[in-house]
Structure 1
């Protein structure tokens, strides 16, 4: 009995004297050849170094849909996602089976919907994709959601094409090797997968007509029109395409104090983030609520209001 009491007292003493362990979190990103992964990595590093008892790592995922589901179900604290995917999740629209408990911490930068073809391809418009072998993006990715939505808006179903389900790297490899006719990558301008492909192969990115862009933005309010100048990639002509804002998705039950601190720390270190991810030049306090149709998390909104009132 004495030994048991002694061991109990020792355990209690250790419990009282040992410092509390940091909470471990993950941020959902995407494939390693995209922008989401390095962005998630730098955010995880900055939050881990500047928030007390906070330790985060970046997780490779299938991107937007997977990240949104994991955030809604408490398997990730935060995820990078396309705004249209988060809106569909919050509203319970396909591919989500029900309304998900998600909201936005802040908007990041616009993603451009890029339909890639070899430079000598006979595909010159989105309508020319009918009957062709086209990679629409990996299952669970925002690329696949956006590609499918846009094609359907323009009257093209997945039955009209020979759809493939490839991630960024597999898509560009398949284009380079002549295994597919076209591939879709929804990512920031200068995304690594397309940049690398354009350095080794002659490619084009399909340009949408003014009427097509009008139909897309009317049917999907989260999209904007993007004019992309020539040579944004090596020897690629100028093109017009729809774009959608990327956001940081969080559970709407996230502690408001933590949401506020995460937002504050991120913007206080935005110069460091921009040194790693150039497209975060668009990540500003003014653009925090750029995604129409969903409110910011209350903790993030508190920070935005403080900054806008200064």
Structure 2
């Protein structure tokens, strides 16, 4: 009897084990299916069901979905402010379509901590027009004072823009926050006086309004105050046949839409998925320009830059890989030339935004005519100078150098381009997308040899040197409130190291390694100078490493706002970095507000670079413009005090350009 019980117990145990094994196998199958379903999935939060955002997201799904590789999930959103917060906090959201002014608004209102380093943009999309739809008893915007006007949901992009717009016009409304479809019904019923809708024209919601509805689109008075923030635009009969009479137009303003992305860790799977999304989107962009895709795709220039925003690195990498400066969906010279046209109009006494009938389209048409005349009058010599962050040293020096060059060659068209710094500049030179560039000597050395990990997948063999210029000082700056006194104190702190794979970031890697530190010991943020300073002022960042000339504007600004500590880099650490490029130097006392003592640090030379194929006469002139006018460069930035002719041919691993050789022979530096 006892034996029977033992056998029964054994059989029961085996049965349970078998059941557990089967359950485990079933769970593994479920997990595998779940992982497969989520692989390559990109969720895009967009806008309301009647808006342009959701149609743009739907187009992305229709064009880019590819079984087993990429799947796009469009999600209905509740406006730009809410979309931004969802991108930050809602699980599973990878991309958000937003109004471009929402980032500055959110930073101003402190809607989220560390916002500037958590959000990036893939591309500017198109301009969205402000629509104000009103009843027959409203003739002009001023008539809305004291009346109910719907501005979409609280926290929406439309609500944000409406607030800015009516404040600028001095019209005090009574805002309501119905969704747009319900607002249209209330407007028809006379329960509200008007509704504001920021949406790309033509808005589907308005396409079904009958011609005899009594509703009409109001013209906005294009005041100088309003045009400081927004671009002029117009709505026509062809956009809304039932709302605007033939031959008539409603003046309005437009705000840019942007495709924003969460700034994932480059080592994460989400980052890799987003990089694949960017490549697929940019590679197949021409398919978005064909029917039945939304007509707003025709307005997109993938290369367009957004002030105040930082581009997602895979998107920047795609643009940097382009062998030419223009192609389907991107045209860099056209953008630069349009900026010059605006400056020309202002300098010649004309206002490019004047007149009630002036629209963005008319302005651009005038620009194209101007550009054609300029090109026909004289095929201009065009050079592009690649610099760095506008708050650094490269940009003001590049601007001053461009001005000096223009004086020697008045017919030349000089473009000074802000960039992410050394690594991007050198890659752009190699691709023929720039002519002159500032770069750090160690970045030049890596580029000449090739180093895929640090941003140079292959050897950049087209580079040529113009001259060695001033030394960069590696400046580690912390807020006094952080308690950081030494490099070792950076452990566990929030530290910015510059834009990813920039010259500054390469410097940071080398200095930290020599000090026995690594990125995983601290919370590293990849931010340009200006953003780092803004976050340190707010208390959202503890320290930043900036490789720049002494007295750089970003650190001066920080020191004037909050107490700072310049963190020393001892000579023994500099010696451990290795290589002749790094030299122990001192930041003199008094360089920044509150700095009472000399601070030891490391320095590295900056080089002015070019590429083969740039005419010798151009490089000779740029070299002459620089060394014959050093006081003018020093006026642009004090770092130029470090530029010396007797050191100009030293320290570069890359051969001198023939045009530079000619100048230095004239000065007796070369035989």
TM-score, reference length from structure 1: 0.88
1:90-140 Cα deviation digits (max 9, x unpaired)? 111232111112122112211111111112433222122222221111124
Residue 307 in 1 paired to residue 667 in 2?
Answer: yes
Q: Hey, what does 1:98 align to over in structure 2?
A: 458
Residue 297 in 1 paired to residue 669 in 2?
Answer: no
Separation in structure 1 between the aligned mates of residue 652 and residue 611 of structure 2, nearest angstrom: 18
Contact 2:476/2:566 (<8 A) preserved? yes
**What displacement does 1:155 show?**
2.9
Question: Given the alignment, which residue of 396, 399, 407 partners 1:41?
Answer: 399
Q: Hey, what does 1:123 align to over in structure 2?
A: 484
Separation in structure 2 between the aligned mates of residue 45 and residue 292 of structure 1, nearest angstrom: 26
Residue 238 in 1 paired to residue 575 in 2?
Answer: no
Q: Hey, what does 1:220 align to over in structure 2?
A: 579
Give secondary structure in 2 for the equivalent of 1:241. Answer: strand
Q: Hey, what does 2:381 align to over in structure 1?
A: 23
Aligned pairs for 1:110-259 within 5 A: 110-216=471-577, 219-236=578-595, 237-259=597-619
What's the C-alpha RMSD, in Å, of the aligned pairs?
A: 1.9
**What displacement does 1:36 show?**
1.1
Contact 2:571/2:584 (<8 A) preserved? no
Give secondary structure in 2 for the equivalent of 1:32. Answer: coil
Q: Hey, what does 2:632 align to over in structure 1?
A: 272
List gaps (5 residues or longer) in structure 1. 1-17
Separation in structure 1 between the aligned mates of residue 456 and residue 481 of structure 2, nearest angstrom: 38
**What displacement does 1:52 show?**
6.0
Q: Hey, what does 1:7 align to over in structure 2?
A: none
Contact 1:133/1:180 (<8 A) preserved? yes
**What displacement does 1:210 show?**
2.4
Give secondary structure in 1 for the equivalent of 2:645. Answer: coil
**What displacement does 1:141 show?**
2.2
Moved more, 43-52 or 59-68: 43-52
Give secondary structure in 1 for the equivalent of 2:639. Answer: helix
- Number of aligned positions between the proteins: 291
1:250-281 Cα deviation digits (max 9, x unpaired)? 11343333322221232223332222222212
Separation in structure 2 between the aligned mates of residue 157 and residue 275 of structure 1, nearest angstrom: 38
Q: Hey, what does 1:73 align to over in structure 2?
A: 431
Contact 1:289/1:295 (<8 A) preserved? no
Separation in structure 2 between the aligned mates of residue 256 and residue 23 of structure 1, nearest angstrom: 13
Q: Hey, what does 1:285 align to over in structure 2?
A: 645
Q: Using a 3 Å threshold, how does the CA distance of structure 1 residues 183 and 73 change in structure 2: closer, same or farther?
A: same
Separation in structure 2 between the aligned mates of residue 65 and residue 309 of structure 1, nearest angstrom: 29
Give secondary structure in 2 for the equivalent of 1:174. Answer: helix
Contact 2:468/2:650 (<8 A) preserved? yes
Contact 2:511/2:574 (<8 A) preserved? no
Q: Hey, what does 1:5 align to over in structure 2?
A: none
Separation in structure 1 between the aligned mates of residue 666 and residue 624 of structure 2, nearest angstrom: 10
**What displacement does 1:19 show?**
5.1
**What displacement does 1:145 show?**
1.5
Q: Using a 3 Å threshold, how does the CA distance of structure 1 residues 196 and 231 change in structure 2: closer, same or farther?
A: same
Following superposition, which runs of at least 4 residues in structure 1 exceed 6 angstroms of deviation? none
1:205-249 Cα deviation digits (max 9, x unpaired)? 111222112112xx1321111111211100124211111111111
